[in-house]
Chains A and B, each alone.
Chain A
């Protein structure tokens, strides 16, 4: 008996040691995996032609899972598009047809960038993941990513849908943004993108009232607006509100280095700004309905709240759902600045582990999702906007027109130029949508923000760990109840209650001694 005990204890101790190792030094797992010789796995994979397993981790509800109703068919002139099977199944069969090799996709999902990071730190292994830009920047600095291969950027390969179809605007951003002197585009291929803004009820709020971050603190809408329960989004909104005067000042907006200065202002994490943001958020906390994690969309549709801080893709979804109930909601991009975000595919060293076959399958998956019909399926299914503009393939633009274009008998139509996204030239006449005027405030303005809204967008960079900690602490302080706020009567009550309880307890103890 004793021996069994000892044995099981030994096994379990071993298990503990084995499993806690990666916890102790989050950096260690990356370096060990990174320095592993790439040879063995790659060669066997390459020569045997055995099925490749591809472990993908993506946002929840962020890919077409198929099974559409007939009536959901997107009937473009160039042909119908419908999601019969899930994108993942379609990829598996496409890959085998195209490259003559079986691929087995293990698909899982994550809820937030931080969750994904914690999962990776705890030892979950994936080959291909899709975090937001600041998180893949963090992974880049930690040296945990595999660069995209040269073959991936070969525009002469017909199957390289990503590089042939990615929007020039997005491509430019991925090429020109760096961290530690490394371009994003070396490691990351875009998937979806968007801006942040305010979804609002136009019966109650005017467009002007909704088009500023200051709406969050507007006492007129006390306890009727929700924002995200998320430190980065809240921080951005607070900075926008605090610096509103500067950011909307014509001297500032017309300065030649406006874009760069805007990015600096919106990413201001000096201790003074952090302190001001904390005060601001604490002030507006009582003015808000709540910080929401995922109830915002539903509360907006059911009319519980009048306005809600949203990512543009969720805004499209919210407006679509409200439309089904004949309830009209609008979307506004704040005049100060909007946070432009990108979710991108990156390959992890730990997962790929030097296997060329795996890397090939991972890159093929990115390309498959970038094929215009697939990009359209994903957009239709999830509401977010693909980074793909299609290149020579006109279907993405056709889809935008199919979704938002004005009917011929539309009386109030407006031009909506999207050249900046589709061709890189804002004035390109080939890419002007004619849309009903109402769409300028609705789904279209969220799905494809106007050139004007984009001009005041700023990315939110990945802050260094020290600053990050300061911001996280700030956020915890905003959400906590400060002991100094405890009213005097509560202290008196607590003291009284404690005294009474101790009294009772002591009394009983003494009594017990007497009788036992």
Chain B
């Protein structure tokens, strides 16, 4: 029994080592660089530089804008699709779902290369709509990440809840607005988290679709190729802080939801 207990705990060791090697240690290095200058002395200049430079702030704003519009577009496309999929009585539901997931099996840079040609046909000259290209490219890339969680939550909803709502006199629209929509929010929120944050840094899409404006990802890269590891590390940390903040905000919401389903119904 003793041995069994020990070995069960030690199952976590491989992942622990992985975590330390590839997450914790690099983070420490990141912290070290972010708060030092070229001479290795402690400094907060990298932090204040970020918040006083109109260009870095502008990049933050631009990244937010790209991510926000991408997320909104993903949500608009994904929710109806997921709802339809989850509630339809189609026998081939699984096949349909597979169709949505299938693009994820193909490397995204290949997909974007294909998209580039499609957009060129539609727009004529890609360079005319750099912002739209970025948004379309990211939506193309991240849509499955929005569909899946929403589909999962909706398909797990107990149909009797809707029936109960209808028994109590709600019409289709009311049943959806008062029951399905609130109860599917956890899926929507995790979908947003899956799309919004990566969209802030996914600069490869912009590069490949000829948007020459930096977003957070390319900004960090540019600092490193300019040998400014200190500034680059600081921006990476700031991004990390934003991600943590975002996770806390959405996370607490979800916890409440899990325990308070009844509240949502009212």
Among the 9-residue stretches B56-64, B140-148, B194-202, the one with 4 or more Cβ atoms under 8 Å from chain A is B56-64
Nearest A residue (CB) for B222 = A476
Q: Is the CB of A486 within 8 A of B212?
A: no
Selected from B58, B208, B225, the residue in CB contact (under 8 A) with A485 is B58
Selected from B33, B56, B127, the residue in CB contact (under 8 A) with A289 is B127
Q: Is the CB of B260 within 8 A of A118?
A: no
B21: chain A residues at CB < 8 Å are: 12
CA–CA, A512 to B13, complex, Å? Answer: 40
B102 beta carbon closer than 8 Å to chain A: no
Across the A-B interface, how many residue pairs have beta carbons closer than 8 Å?
A: 128
B1-39: CB near A (< 8 Å → 1, else 0) gives 000001001100100110011000100110011000000
CA–CA, A515 to B85, complex, Å? Answer: 33
Q: Is the CB of A479 within 8 A of B212?
A: yes
CA–CA, A483 to B256, complex, Å? Answer: 37
Q: Is the CB of A481 within 8 A of B214?
A: yes
CA–CA, A444 to B170, complex, Å? Answer: 79
A115 beta carbon closer than 8 Å to chain B: yes
B55 beta carbon closer than 8 Å to chain A: yes
Shortest B129–chain A CB gap in Å is 10
Selected from A288, A293, A476, A490, the residue in CB contact (under 8 A) with B55 is A476
Q: Which of A481, A483, A508 has the most CB of B within 10 A?
A: A481
Shortest B238–chain A CB gap in Å is 15
CA–CA, A506 to B17, complex, Å? Answer: 41
Q: Is the CB of A24 within 8 A of B40?
A: yes
Shortest A227–chain B CB gap in Å is 10
Sort chain B's interface into a size bin: 35 or more
Given contacts A12-B25, A290-B210, A476-B219, contact A1 B55 (CB under 8 A): no
A468: chain B residues at CB < 8 Å are: 226-227
Q: Is the CB of B13 within 8 A of A4?
A: yes
A101-121: CB near B (< 8 Å → 1, else 0) gives 000000000001011011000
- A–B pairs, 30, beta carbons within 8 Å: A8-B13, A12-B17, A12-B20, A114-B226, A118-B227, A223-B125, A229-B207, A289-B125, A289-B210, A290-B127, A290-B210, A291-B212, A292-B210, A295-B208, A469-B226, A469-B228, A473-B226, A475-B222, A475-B226, A479-B222, A480-B213, A481-B55, A481-B58, A482-B58, A483-B58, A483-B61, A485-B58, A486-B61, A508-B256, A512-B256
Given contacts A224-B125, A472-B226, contact A484 B54 (CB under 8 A): yes
Q: Which of A24, A25, A285, A476 has the most CB of B within 10 A?
A: A476
Shortest B17–chain A CB gap in Å is 7
Given contacts A288-B127, A289-B127, A479-B213, contact A515 B223 (CB under 8 A): no
B contact face: mostly helix, strand, loop, or mixed: helix
- We find that the number of chain A residues with CB closer than 8 angstroms to chain B is 52
Selected from A114, A295, A479, the residue in CB contact (under 8 A) with B227 is A114
B243-266 contacts to A, CB under 8 A, are 249, 253, 256, 259-260, 262-263, 266
Selected from B10, B222, B249, B260, the residue in CB contact (under 8 A) with A516 is B260
Name A residues whose Cβ lies closer than 8 Å to a Cβ of B.
1, 4, 8-9, 12, 15-16, 20, 23-25, 112, 114-115, 117-118, 223-224, 229, 231, 285, 288-293, 295, 304, 468-469, 472-473, 475-477, 479-486, 490, 497, 505, 508, 511-512, 515-516
B249: chain A residues at CB < 8 Å are: 505
CA–CA, A497 to B67, complex, Å? Answer: 14
B46 beta carbon closer than 8 Å to chain A: no
CA–CA, A515 to B257, complex, Å? Answer: 12
CA–CA, A427 to B210, complex, Å? Answer: 46
Q: Is the CB of A480 within 8 A of B127?
A: no
CA–CA, A469 to B28, complex, Å? Answer: 25
